[in-house]
Chain A
Amino acid sequence: MSALRRFWSNVLAVAYRETIVLRHDQAFIGAVLAQPVMMLLLFGYVLSNEPANVDWALLDWSRSDASRRLVADIQATGYFRPPRTVASYETGRALLRGGHALAFVVIPDRFAAQLERGRPRVQLLLDGSDPLSAARVGGYIVEVAASFTPRDQALARRGPPRLAPPPGPIDVRQRFRFNSTLRDRDFFLAALAGMLLTNVCLSVTALGLVGERESGTFEQMLAQPISSLEIVLGKLLPYVGVAYVILLVSTLATGLLFDVWPRGGIPTLAIATLPFVLASLGIGVFVSALARSSAQGVFISVFFIMPSFVLSGSMFPYQLMPHGVRELGGLFPLRWYQIALRRIIERGAGLSDVLGPMAALVALFVLLLALIRWRMSPRLG
């Protein structure tokens, strides 16, 4: 019993020391405050996969009322800039090659006549070098064309095609649950806390522990009647607190600024965050055990953070990645946490729905503890 009490009092003593150091580290406080602001602005206002301001070229051989109406209908979707009218096929292709247009629409001279007879056709060339945008823009134009009718009908003037699909042979009534307009913003912001916490947990622990070893204070602490496990735990404890502060700030900010509030319970969110923070801190400790200088520590953690953003599914859907890459992403704690975040924040899931990702995070944490023990034991003996 007394051994356990001494263990915790040692851990708390180190945690107290670490908190004091932390409070005086202005660079750290600045980074912790500046990062959420920058990421919020980027993901809230700037970044999006939804096409906008699309440059396109038009070759209109028909020059009829009908062709002008088709062009106006494409314009009315709101995704496009006014088209650049070209006089020849070659000019249009050159615009695509030079990257000055994403799409090139060719309307044949028999368009108006074909429209009367019922088999009208137009040609659409896309710049495949930007595949995601090309696929979406192609979809918009096909949709506009599919709902185009021979005579101008007031009914045909509707908003973007996604909101009001044209009645086809089968009438598809569709609805997007959880994010009715499919805004990229909500998708990014749901995972924002995960990205922020990854950044903070990794860079701070990697820097802190290596810096301590560089300046010799780690050895000093080892000379005290205190074990290396107690030191590491004590050093990490304050960052768990920091992590929860960041979670609170980012939840409030996304809610107040962008009206993206968690649909699930706040306690669920708090509980699901704990194994993720522990696993991320564990990775930071492991990195610090690998690195020989603090520059190396930051270096390694940067090249861990980048792929974990990209491969975890926070920015791109992991479901679309090929096998191999998809499983590789499973090694990053952020993968499982962003799954949990999307369930809690976007879909309003309860604790029982996020037990799976939480179990994966705990497993990663245990694996990391084993790795840290293996890597650190010879040095601290």
Chain B
Amino acid sequence: MSWRRLRTLLQREVRATLRDPFTVTMLIAVPLGTLLAFGFVLSTEVKHLPLAVLDADGSPASRRLVADLTAKGIFDARLFPTRAAIDRALVAGDVSAALIIPPDFDRRRRAVANGEPAPEVQVIYDGAEAVLAGNAEGFLRSLIAANGVTLTEDVHGGGRVAVVTRALFNPRLDGVPYMVAGTFGFVLSFLTTLITAVSIVNERIAGTFEQLQVTPATSVEIFLGKILPLGVVFALDVGLMMLVAGFVLGVWPQGSVPFFLLVSSFYVLVSLALGLLFSATSATAAEAVQKTVLFSIPLVQLSGFAFPIRNMPAIVRWITEVFPATHYIRISRAIYIRAAGPVSLLPDLFFLVVFAGILLWLALRSIEARA
């Protein structure tokens, strides 16, 4: 290992990377684009959902129920004269839910005091938008329940258990921090692997990689000469993403910033080694890209980036543990949102270290092999 030789290799790599405008554009555009686009896709809030209303009662009580539902801006009521019109609106997807108040609503509401059963209303959701309907259901039922309590002056007395709910770390259950912390995992797994794979395959095709191999440089030096500059570039990307997430999206890390940077830089190494491996087994750059893409589909779907792992079948839950991205995304969310320290994250950190060891060793061997 000679420092002089390594320095030459580093200079060469930095120049080669910066000379290519496409790579530089991707290095800046992709992290920022994904951060801004993915940041907002998950939402637990429901706002201005079109709600079809058929008020067959037309009493002050029924009108108050409708007014209460629309008061908070969660639902926008649209009055419909008939059931058939509501059905058409549901099929066309014009309304997300429909509320039907029967003609005897007010009469039965007043009869509750005499021990009659509670008044009924009917709610139909557009199940075609399953997620939306699930969110809307929760809001609509709690609003109707709250209204029912005021309307009937609490004739039931009690017995039902009240739950005092508090969400830690993210009191308004905002979706942005969750997606932002996950996007770090997405960018650092996908873009890094892709760019490394393409850069090395292109060198292999151009023959410059063989030229490197016949110089006095050892394979460890070639390896470091490739990995270190790219590693620094992606470490800068992490910093850039943190700043944009903070200033534009208002999401700052709750935990220790140095710890997050350390883990992220380490994870970049894992991804770079993976990129090296893909490039070693591909004949053309397009093939390397396709391999990376094929690998990245399970990465997006199975790593917990978009869908919680706990909801998956048991066998798949086991498989997801084999992806380094799963562990990094878990760590990234823990540090970013829950301010977790190294102690509670030991199992995931341990997995990352093991993966890094295996992948770096394999990547080094792929460089030694003279193709």
Contacts and interface: CB of A to CB of B under 8 A. Distances in A.
A344 to B, nearest CB: 10
A317 B44 contact: no
Contacts of B135: 135, 320
A343 B169 contact: no
A124 B124 contact: no
Contacts of B289: 295, 298-299, 302
A99 B330 contact: yes
Nearest to A165: B141
B166 A179 contact: no
Nearest to B343: A98
B131 interface: yes
Given A38-B297, A118-B158, A187-B130, A129 B333 contact: yes
Contacts of A176: 124-125, 127, 133
B52 to A, nearest CB: 12
B117 A171 contact: yes
A174 to B, nearest CB: 4
12 contacts: A45-B316, A49-B134, A49-B308, A53-B310, A98-B344, A118-B157, A122-B162, A168-B145, A169-B152, A170-B119, A182-B127, A342-B93
A60 interface: no
Contact of A183 (B129, B130, B159): B130
A348 B40 contact: no
Interface stretch (A143-151, A228-236, A270-278): A143-151
Interface string A292-325: 1111111100110011001100011101111001
Given A123-B164, A172-B141, A292-B22, A177 B126 contact: yes
Contacts of B155: 169
B334 interface: yes
A165 B155 CA distance: 19
Interface string B61-96: 000010000000000000000000000001111001
Contacts of B118: 167-171
B161 A70 contact: yes
Interface residues of B toward A: which range?
35 or more
A334 interface: no
A46 B93 contact: no
A131 interface: yes
B43 to A, nearest CB: 4
B145 A145 contact: no
Contact of A169 (B37, B129, B151, B174): B151
B57 interface: no
A53 B311 contact: yes
B234 interface: no
Contacts of A54: 310
A130 B311 CA distance: 13
Closest A-B pairs by Cβ, 7 of them: A118-B158, A128-B170, A169-B148, A179-B127, A295-B285, A98-B344, A128-B167
A141 B96 CA distance: 25
Given A42-B301, A131-B178, A171-B120, A295 B288 contact: yes
A183 B175 CA distance: 21
A295 to B, nearest CB: 4
B316 A46 contact: yes
A115 B313 contact: no
Contacts of A124: 163-166
Interface of A: 38, 42, 45-55, 70, 93-94, 96-99, 102, 115, 117-136, 138-139, 141-142, 145-150, 162, 165, 167-180, 182-184, 186-187, 190, 207, 211, 292-299, 302-303, 306-307, 310-311, 315-317, 319-322, 325, 328, 339, 342-343, 346-349, 353
B210 interface: no
Nearest to B177: A129
Given A45-B313, A130-B308, A133-B308, A178 B163 contact: no
Contact of A50 (B128, B161, B181, B311): B311
Given A169-B148, A311-B41, A131 B310 contact: no
Interface in B99-152: 109, 112, 117-135, 137-138, 141, 144-145, 147-149, 151-152
Nearest to A328: B37
Contact of A298 (B167, B181, B293): B293
Contacts of B42: 131-132, 316
B363 interface: no
A171 B91 CA distance: 26
A120 B316 contact: no
A328 B40 CA distance: 12
A174 B148 contact: no
Contacts of A174: 122-125, 137, 141
